[in-house]
């Protein structure tokens, strides 16, 4: 769920600001609101999906802003198709 939230927030920011990125604070806040925040697996979920994002192979809690890689943009397109 947090990965989908991140993808959708990156999309919304791209539409509004022209940048496929979001803050982790915003992702966490939305995940909490949607009651899908998993603090125990937060880091692992991003690390396991690192190819979608621009932080490299290893996610750390020091990262504040996250953007989409080319593969992430393709994943976002798939998600949008799925949601239609």
What pLDDT does residue 56 have? 81
The overall average pLDDT reported for the chain is 93
CA distance 54 to 83: 24
User: Over the stretch 5-43, which tens digit does the pLDDT of each residue have?
Assistant: 999 999 999 999 999 999 999 999 999 999 999 999 999
Output phi, psi for 71, to 5 deg: -65, -35
**CA distances, 10 to each of 16, 19, 40, 58, 76 (Å):** 10, 7, 23, 19, 9
- Tell the burial category of 53 from Cβ atoms under 10 Å away from its Cβ (0-12, 13-18, 19+): buried
User: Over the stretch 41-57, which tens digit does the pLDDT of each residue have?
Assistant: 999 999 999 999 999 87
């Amino acid at each position: 769920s947090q990965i989908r939230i991140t993808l959708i927030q990156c999309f919304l920011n791209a539409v509004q600001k022209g940048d496929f990125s979001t803050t982790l604070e915003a992702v966490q806040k939305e995940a909490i609101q949607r009651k899908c925040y998993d603090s125990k697996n937060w880091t692992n979920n991003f690390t396991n999906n690192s190819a979608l994002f621009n932080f490299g192979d290893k996610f750390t809690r020091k990262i504040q802003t996250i953007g989409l890689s080319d593969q992430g943009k393709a994943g976002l397109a798939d998600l949008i198709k799925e949601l239609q």
